[in-house]
Structure 1
Amino acid sequence: MQRQNITLWIAAILVYSFLYIPLIIVVIYSFNDSKLNAEWVGFTLSWYKALFNNEEMLLAARNSLIIAVSASFLATTLGTMAGLAIHRYRFRVLPVLAFTPVAMPEILLGVSLLLFFLQVLNLTLGMISIIIAHTTFCIGFVAIIVRARLQGMDESIFEAARDLGATPWQTFRQITLPLIMPAVIAGALMSFTLSIDDFVITFFTKGVGEPILPIQIYTMIKVAVTPEVNAISTLLMLLTLAMIIMANRFDSNILRGESK
């Protein structure tokens, strides 16, 4: 038994080292005082200063934030409605419609949305097309989280509300929504995280003009992986990590069946 535990620990260390050592290297070399970034020369914060003086990069970050906030808001609203519908109406087609974008490969979803925008809607690609695309694949994640929250709730609460004369809207606003709010917040944070660093779907649905952060980073590394690229990657990594930690906090409350 002890030998098996040692083997599991060694395997776990190797796997986590493979996952996190490259990320640690990116963070360390974002402070490297060298343009070539081939070897460590010295500590500096100049690359972060250069990053915040880069107007094109700041514009790309602003656009990505606008897209992420808009997509997370729409996905949270529609995903919450989808989760409620799946829980209340036992139609087998509803989970398929809501969860298919989650299971679909991103490249397939990106190509299908591109064709839909151009050939069906005749829509000019840009910020609007990216927001619609991000909302499409984020809805399923919100619906899954909300549905999981609803499945752990006592249905007698809603029956008691109806017996006391509450209307469906009053029941939702005063009982259902407060109880599922941790799931709604977790879904919003997850949607924001997925949207702000998505590359594949953004690449297919982005038009010419406005820069988007993941595409901008990809354009920069075509030349070389400079410390400035490491700096923006580090900041994006910290933002994503913060969102994941916050979403996990709310998600763990859901798993324990607690509400705020």
Structure 2
Amino acid sequence: MAKSASNKAFLLGYRLYIVAFFIFLAAPLVAAATFAFNDSLFPSLPWQGFTLDWFFNDTEPKLGMFHDRRLLRGLYYSAIIGVMVSGLSVFVGTTNAFLFVRGNFPAKNFFYIIMILPLVIPGVILGISILVMASNIANGVEDRFDYELEFLRPGILLVVLGQFSFVTTITSLVITARLKKFDYTMEEAALNLGASRAQVLRTVTLPFLRPAMIAAGIVAFLVSFENFNTTLFLVGSESPLTITMYDRMAKVGSTPVLNAVSFFLIVGSGLLALISVIVQRNAPAD
């Protein structure tokens, strides 16, 4: 009897902990989203009434996010950077998966650790290191050959390279985990039937990896889109959305239009994450 009561108490405590944990995670997001619909010039209580002005209004002082050219420009740059980082990361992540799952070369475990190392390095350190390295290379080439390497100067391309340096680790791990589940006899059967290596890769192996590649691409896009620490040191005049929002906060302070942007990003990120889960759930087991 005492054991049954103890189990019930443990189960109740565990459920309360789970509820409190999700409330802790969701409360800031709910608060930010709520003030996006408050008919007030400041994101604070008391509640002044429901409005969509912070999304669609085209006049000051309640200029909506869909009419704020600077925010839309930042959104555009973030999307461009995210797509480029996602594409590069999935491609390199796929090749890394084949390298570390099927490759056999000296110091393989050492290089695998090197590959995942960027995940534990703070984004600030990555940003500073990449900026210093790129600037030194660009300055050295310019001094010696009188040739300017524009892509190594702060700007979109350097941001893409900086984010790619750690996002590709995430895609590599996701695709590697999928490749480890692959049944090699499927490739052997296709080869015995006369298919070439390229045909086997295109018709057997890559279709098996496709769910992981799609999911990894979505995760890479989301990580790139919300990145701030690394991007801050590498950005040029084309500021992505995170930097634009930070600059707006520093100069003007918090306004409900930033809450509207936050709500838009919460919904968009949630939908992409849901697609990622559905893709992986519907993937064949073998």
TM-score range, shorter chain: over 0.9
Aligned with residue 102 of structure 1, among 99, 119, 126: 119
State the partner residue of 2:233: 204
Paired residues of 1:84 and 1:146 also in contact (CA < 8 A): no
Task: Tell me if 1:177 matches 2:183.
Answer: no
In the TM superposition, 1:20-169 aligns within 5 A as: 20-39=26-45, 40-49=47-56, 50-90=64-104, 91-122=108-139, 123-169=152-198
Percent identity (aligned): 28
CA distance in 2, matches of 1:163, 1:85: 24
Paired residues of 1:190 and 1:244 also in contact (CA < 8 A): yes
Uncovered stretches (5+) of structure 2, i.e. residues with no partner = 1-6, 57-63, 140-151
2:17 is aligned with what amino acid? A
C-alpha displacement at 1:215, in angstroms? 0.7
State the partner residue of 1:6: 12
Provide Cα deviations, 1:202-221, integer angstroms capped at 9, x if missing partner.
101112x1121001111222
Task: Tell me if 1:257 matches 2:281.
Answer: no
C-alpha displacement at 1:45, in angstroms? 0.5
* Structural RMSD (CA): 1.6
Uncovered stretches (5+) of structure 1, i.e. residues with no partner = none
2:167 is aligned with what amino acid? C
1:44 is aligned with what amino acid? T
CA distance in 1, matches of 2:110, 2:196: 28
TM-score (norm 1): 0.93
Paired residues of 2:191 and 2:200 also in contact (CA < 8 A): yes
1:27 is aligned with what amino acid? A
CA distance in 1, matches of 2:216, 2:111: 19
CA distance in 1, matches of 2:110, 2:203: 29
CA distance in 2, matches of 1:100, 1:190: 18
Paired residues of 1:56 and 1:211 also in contact (CA < 8 A): no
TM-score (norm 2): 0.85
Task: Tell me if 1:230 matches 2:236.
Answer: no
Larger Rg: 2
CA distance in 1, matches of 2:160, 2:118: 15
Paired residues of 2:232 and 2:243 also in contact (CA < 8 A): yes
CA distance in 2, matches of 1:133, 1:147: 22
In the TM superposition, 1:184-199 aligns within 5 A as: 184-199=213-228
1:217 is aligned with what amino acid? M
Tell me, what secondary structure is at the counterpart of 1:71?
Answer: helix
Paired residues of 2:35 and 2:44 also in contact (CA < 8 A): no
How many pairs are equivalent?
A: 256
